[in-house]
Structure 1
Amino acid sequence: MDHVWYVAYGSNLALERFRCYLSGGRPQGGARVYPGCRNPNPPARTAPVTVAGGLVFGGASKVWGGGSAFYDPAAASELAGRAYLLTSEQLADVAAQEMWRDPGGTYALELAALLPNVTELHSLGPGRYETVVRLGTHDDLPMYTITHGTVADLDPVAPTASYLRWIATGLVEAHGWTVDRVVDYLHAAPGVRLGWTPGALRSALDGGAGGGG
């Protein structure tokens, strides 16, 4: 496969943040400088998508602190995502960086070779973003995302404000949501209400999600 859709559902919903995975750099509020992909070109296209499943927060994010965002395919809800049209090599390099591995390294090469054979879900390892999920197709091209293989085993953990702001910014960019709709969506995700009331969440997002109009 030449081009595929990578479906982001966490902070990569925001294009400015996702560019750090493509061309390198450190996102505002993040604690990591990303090396970037071997091919740093921007996505050929982007598209808002909604798929079955849900958003959950758990584990411990090394970049943001607090819980990390994961996709739960078994959740009885819907996940709001943003699809980026990338080369399969770029998607593999993005996934490698999620696991703090080198773009173009063994993991990235293995994943790129595996993609055509992933029909549903495939775990390359026990790491937090080592499971690839095929989410169907969009415009006749396959959609993939990455998550934890056993999301149900993760204890819910509240995410930090900086992380939530990037997610909110991406939801506004991709789906055109209002801040109130973003608050409802995020507060329903397991983990968020452990650290956030709807009012506190709205206050935290007003400067981030609201800035995009």
Structure 2
Amino acid sequence: MLVWYVAYASNLHAARLACYLRGGRPDGAAHAQPGSRDPSPPRRTVATALPGTLYFAGRSLTWGGGSAFYDPAGTGEVPCRSYLVTVSQFSDIAAQEMRRSPGADLDLTAAIATGRAELGPGRYETLLRVGESAGHPLLTFTSARGVAGAELNAPTPPYLRTLAAGLAESHGWGPWRTAGYLATRPGAAGHWTPRTVAAVLD
């Protein structure tokens, strides 16, 4: 079975996603990833967007500072990138994001049937079905809390650079458009400005 993994944060950048598939340490990251059971590249990659809000919260062990999460109940639009992968690849990507060891397929039945499944209380442990394309479900993962219940925290420069690289690669965004978007997300707003983010990206 194939599914679309809908990425909205650092995995917008193909080289960063490859670390979850083949293993390795992304540029600027503190830790390496073990990789997936199937290191093959995605079968297809498509730029897309979801309604809702991107926000930064918690503390990333990989990047320091806040991690990016998706709140489907928020306002606005979130640029995304969809990767067509196997269930085992999606499961192993999700496991690494959940700070679990990859190696077991997730039961996607509830998420596909109802649109939502909570696998645990932690980061990225809520699966969402956000649509369908070419006969395959569109799936992503985020926090169950949403922006209203989150402990907002600003992202670090290396994380912002990875997000920016992904937005440029997948959507063709330039540095000023990217800086204006990232600096105004909850968690980043009040700490970063478009000008200071643009300086980090320069």
What TM-score, normalized by structure 1, do the two folds share?
A: 0.90
Q: Please provide the CA RMSD for this pair.
A: 1.3
> How far apart, CA to CA, are the structure 2 residues paired with 1:164 and 1:54?
17
Matches within 5 A, 1:8-87: 8-87=7-86
Shift of 1:47: 0.5
Shift of 1:113: 4.6
Decide which moves more: 36-45 or 95-104: 95-104
Q: Percent identity?
A: 48
Mapped pair 1:114 → 2:109: yes
Question: Is contact 2:7–2:82 with CA below 8 Å preserved after alignment?
Answer: yes
CA shift digits 1:68-109 (9 cap, x unpaired): 10000110111110101100110011101112211114xxx3
Matches within 5 A, 1:97-112: 97-105=96-104, 109=105, 111-112=106-107
Amino acid at match of 1:80: P
What TM-score, normalized by structure 2, do the two folds share?
A: 0.95
> How far apart, CA to CA, are the structure 1 residues paired with 2:199 and 2:110?
41
The answer for unaligned runs of 5 or more in structure 2 is: none
> How far apart, CA to CA, are the structure 2 residues paired with 1:46 and 1:70?
21
2:197 aligns to what? 201
2:153 aligns to what? 157
Flag the 1:157–1:24 CA change in 2: closer, same or farther, 3 A.
Answer: same
1:94 aligns to what? 93
> How far apart, CA to CA, are the structure 2 residues paired with 1:122 and 1:42?
26
1:173 aligns to what? 169
Amino acid at match of 2:49: T
Mapped pair 1:129 → 2:124: yes
The answer for unaligned runs of 5 or more in structure 1 is: 207-213
Q: How many residues align?
A: 201
> How far apart, CA to CA, are the structure 2 residues paired with 1:67 and 1:167?
13
Shift of 1:137: 1.4
Shift of 1:6: 0.3
Paired residue secondary structure (1:193): coil
